[in-house]
Structure 1
């Protein structure tokens, strides 16, 4: 006599039942495809029909409507995004086309990077050219202040155990103010805010763009530097510089409001510093608050980025002093 099946938890049972109805396949099965840093999860279908992806956004934790709104805007503007085949917004379930397994981050290497980056720039230029609704959130002072707080609250205080003295607090505040002023002075375009190889799928008519629900109107250099100074991949600085120049030339040709090349490279550097500080805070929060510790393994990459860029600019000397005198010694004291 066979063992009785283990009862499914309510959300798992609800997801499977919805999938079988959406597919018209009472025997369809689901297996985990991927998850993200939030509460969404992704499941690949197996059954009589071609595989599909079920996106599960528990409505009490992750409203699916912003994702759908951004997806529809991007698709209408010509950006390659996942196609939606069925939806239940109230329950938080979407049935999507299956774009395949590997993301760009999993297939890009030194030999094929130029082609992948060029394709990513093509999609980015389309995204940056879209006319967004007037009520789209602007990546302004409020969001920048929130990002700045993530670094101090979660990376310095929670992770490194640092309480800044008056001098160090002043150095950090001065640096953050200069970074924010630079971001606020840039021309504004549609901004993905996490445009990186992990969120790009290498399909024939793409790459397809993922994880776009936090799209805002923001500084034009933000997404290029997110792509090229990625949270999970590092490239030689000379190669990054060449790609930034390639983006700049193509953006000019597309009529996008980029400044002269010297100003753009500086803007990209400074936004890279702002973004790296923010992500250090996010990774520390994922570890300490959410129990998702794998992201912290990439924290040294951000310190490396800062070491490469910050010394180029006298205006960022307060951050260099803070790194050398306070942050790096605290990192060295962390348990191995």
Structure 2
């Protein structure tokens, strides 16, 4: 997709800034990628080496949190994009071009082990960082917000469900148990979207993207985000093997992982909490933001829930809600 017509004010401003930052009056921009927020990424071509322009409209997505976390990660040895020029007030950054495919686009059955090993090594660097005292904690407030996304956007808005008293109690009980589990886990620096589409296979990498929401959070959260991805699925036996490998390496590195059986349970429960949240986010992207493509992955999340929830009696209220109410309503919506 080429740069939009220059009569669009933001497009003209972006191109003019890029040409000045590059020192190339003839440089052009082509869209490189977008994310689920308001940022967009543009590949600059011209006389200089290829660069990426990140456009973060200041009235919609302040670039300062992104820069702050980038610097924290970079200082701690985590591979992140290098910033070559910046205009914080205008919301423009000039970044190194890390290339085309993400890990999500490059990974196959044959090379998945190598990609996951590299991603786990990078994750352990991230989890080992010493964070400033003012970095947010993934605590009660964030967990309550995540829980609300599922009910408001996926159940009510997308499926058209108004829970009766019994179902509302089941959901509340299940969400409370998931939150209590997350709050009880040891805390480490947590990306919150550590998954293959946010990783770039480069030297010293994978390079980590979309890290601006870094918090101090549950130790099992990022490993399960990586291995039970929003956009890729792997056989459960393979996922458990990777989780066991992460656990052994993390324990050897001194990260605060619990005993293996407890860690595997914590990863399962963090995965359930995350999948419910992302169903809410994907529904919101569809209904509020006009981005329908994300909901195509909703069946993947229901399959994850089917694989994990029945393993735990404490999650029976959620299993009952899924079987009696959510899955029939989803079948009608997608028929």
Secondary structure of 1:334 counterpart: helix
Q: Which runs of 5+ in 2 are unaligned?
A: none
Question: 1:211-257 deviations in whole A, cap 9, x for unaligned?
Answer: 00000000000000000000000000000000000000000011000
Query: Is the CA contact (8 Å cut-off) linking 2:5 and 2:11 kept in structure 1?
Result: no
More displaced 10-residue stretch of structure 1: 91-100 or 325-334? 325-334
Paired residues in the alignment total: 332
Query: Is the CA contact (8 Å cut-off) linking 2:283 and 2:295 kept in structure 1?
Result: yes
Q: Give runs of aligned pairs for residues 279-294 of structure 1, distance below 5 A.
A: 279-294=278-293
Matched, 1:61 2:53: no
Structure 2 counterpart of 1:334? 333
Q: Runs of 4+ in structure 1 displaced over 2 angstroms?
A: 5-8
Q: Give runs of aligned pairs for residues 15-94 of structure 1, distance below 5 A.
A: 15-94=14-93
2: CA distance between counterparts of 1:45 and 1:201?
18
Secondary structure of 1:43 counterpart: strand
1: CA distance between counterparts of 2:64 and 2:29?
23
Q: Give runs of aligned pairs for residues 226-237 of structure 1, distance below 5 A.
A: 226-237=225-236
2: CA distance between counterparts of 1:123 and 1:6?
40
Aligned-pair CA distance for 1:8: 2.3
Q: Give runs of aligned pairs for residues 101-140 of structure 1, distance below 5 A.
A: 101-140=100-139
Query: Is the CA contact (8 Å cut-off) linking 2:309 and 2:318 kept in structure 1?
Result: yes
Secondary structure of 1:333 counterpart: helix
Matched, 1:147 2:146: yes
Question: 1:300-329 deviations in whole A, cap 9, x for unaligned?
Answer: 000000000000000000000000000011
Question: 1:3-43 deviations in whole A, cap 9, x for unaligned?
Answer: xx954211000000000000000000000000000000000
Q: Return the TM-score normalized by structure 1.
A: 0.98
Q: Which runs of 5+ in 1 are unaligned?
A: none
More displaced 10-residue stretch of structure 1: 5-14 or 297-306? 5-14
2: CA distance between counterparts of 1:198 and 1:235?
15
How has the CA–CA distance of structure 1 residues 129 and 6 changed in structure 2, closer, same or farther, with 3 Å as cutoff? closer
2: CA distance between counterparts of 1:39 and 1:8?
20
2: CA distance between counterparts of 1:321 and 1:9?
51
Structure 1 counterpart of 2:173? 174
Aligned-pair CA distance for 1:48: 0.3
Structure 1 counterpart of 2:320? 321
Q: Return the TM-score normalized by structure 2.
A: 0.98
2: CA distance between counterparts of 1:335 and 1:26?
50
